[in-house]
């Protein structure tokens, strides 16, 4: 829980502190950017950044993401929705559409049910008998692999040029060539990451805004200000997104306060001594970022929702800000996630007002979820 020690661990992978995630997570998610290290990690990270890093989001993905979010939120007036479910659907569909643009309509319904099983399985004890979350998660992984292989095979037998993420990964011109197993692992990683983190931050942003009318009003003013500078029917641009400073504050504060990712795990590759404590080879170290997020020395009144604190850009670049990881493992999908949530908030707060229905219990560990759903009554703004 010590910020300085956590920083040391995150920045010193080469000194024997490599990823050390639980067996269930490794088995179900497979070989991916979170589990590998060294040259393999560098190669896979380069591949992911080429697909969804800041340059790719700006130059390739932004217009399509905006179109998808507008369509997804277009008909909610007068409805009562479960925002937990809707946010998961949106996060998954947005990522899915960028990977499988051509096939998305035909295979989406086959992929989607498997990912809640995958998420639940990664957090389970690795007991592989029928009925356990781990067993169900492994079965879901097998189905996703089979579906992905079929699509790759169909594309290889066709002369059609695909410009989505899968098309990039399969291209002979890519700077980061991957075999089929690595391509499928990238698909699972991208879909799983957005499904859990983007959806939960989206849900918690609305929950916190509902309880802070001043913050909600400032957010609306920011977005209506952007629309006020547009001609009728003109879409917002990347530059508009980069001007959403208060929106970014809302997202970062929601991420800090909700702590969607509680921490990260490392494994010692040799005997180590840290802060006077001896860690034998093979031991796991859990970097508990939730505690750092609630440190009153870093964040005064840490339990208070205060998006204004992030208007001080020094906080975002603070050496103990681990919201997106740190060092060589800073989240490669950071910009994509921020864009998705920002576009959702833009479309939502400029169209709707909402009322949160009472009585829904929230669970915050090991993952944030509302077992019975978080229901909102939506009306036109």
**Is 347 within any annotated ligand binding site?**
no
Say how far apart CA 202 and CA 161 lie, in whole Å. 34
Say how far apart CA 137 and CA 181 lie, in whole Å. 18
3-state secondary structure of 18: strand
Token pair in block for residue 233: 């029917």
User: Could you identify the residue written with the tokens 């399969």?
Assistant: 170
3-state secondary structure of 237: coil
Neighbour-count burial for 321-357, b at 16+ CB within 10 Å, e otherwise: bbbbbbeebebbbbbbbbbbbbbbbbbbbeebebeee
Strands ordered across the beta sheet of 17-19: 17-19, 263-268, 284-288
Say how far apart CA 375 and CA 378 lie, in whole Å. 10
DSSP 29-85: H-S-TTT--THHHHHHHHHHHHHHSHHHIIIIIHHHHHHHHHHHTTT-TT-EEEHHH
- Enumerate the known binding-site residues for heme: 331
Question: Per the annotation, where are the binding residues?
Answer: 331
């Amino acid at each position: 829980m010590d910020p300085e020690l956590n920083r040391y661990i995150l920045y010193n992978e080469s000194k024997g502190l490599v990823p050390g995630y639980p067996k269930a997570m490794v088995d179900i998610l497979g070989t991916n950017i979170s589990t590998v290290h060294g040259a393999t990690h560098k190669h896979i990270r380069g591949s992911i950044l080429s697909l969804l890093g800041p340059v790719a989001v700006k130059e390739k993905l932004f217009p399509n993401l905006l179109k998808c979010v507008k369509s997804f939120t277009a008909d909610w007036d007068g409805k009562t929705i479960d925002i937990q479910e809707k946010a998961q659907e949106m996060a998954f569909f947005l990522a899915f559409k960028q990977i499988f643009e051509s096939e998305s309509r035909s295979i989406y319904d086959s992929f989607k049910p498997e990912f809640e099983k995958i998420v639940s399985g990664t957090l389970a004890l690795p007991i592989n008998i029928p009925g356990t979350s781990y067993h169900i998660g492994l079965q879901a992984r097998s189905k996703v692999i089979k579906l992905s292989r079929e699509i790759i095979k169909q594309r290889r037998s066709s002369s059609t040029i695909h410009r989505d993420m899968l098309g990039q990964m399969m291209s002979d011109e890519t700077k980061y060539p991957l075999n089929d197993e690595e391509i499928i692992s990238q698909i699972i990683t991208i879909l799983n990451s957005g499904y859990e983190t983007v959806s939960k931050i989206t849900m918690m942003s609305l929950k916190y805004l509902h309880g802070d009318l001043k913050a909600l009003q400032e957010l609306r003013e920011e977005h209506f200000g952007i629309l006020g500078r547009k001609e009728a029917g003109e879409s917002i641009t990347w530059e508009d997104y980069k001007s959403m400073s208060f929106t970014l504050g809302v997202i970062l504060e929601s991420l800090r306060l909700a702590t969607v990712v509680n921490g990260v795990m490392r494994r010692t590759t040799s005997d180590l001594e840290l802060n006077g404590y001896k860690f034998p080879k093979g031991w796991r170290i859990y970097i508990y970022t939730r505690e750092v997020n609630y440190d009153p020395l870093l964040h005064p009144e840490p339990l208070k929702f205060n998006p204004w604190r992030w208007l001080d850009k020094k906080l975002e670049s603070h050496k103990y800000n681990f919201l997106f990881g740190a060092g060589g493992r800073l989240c490669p999908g950071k910009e994509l996630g921020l864009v998705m949530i920002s576009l959702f908030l833009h479309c939502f707060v400029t169209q709707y007002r909402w009322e949160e229905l009472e009585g829904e219990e929230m669970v915050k560990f090991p993952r944030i979820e509302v077992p019975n759903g978080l229901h909102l009554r939506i009306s036109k703004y």
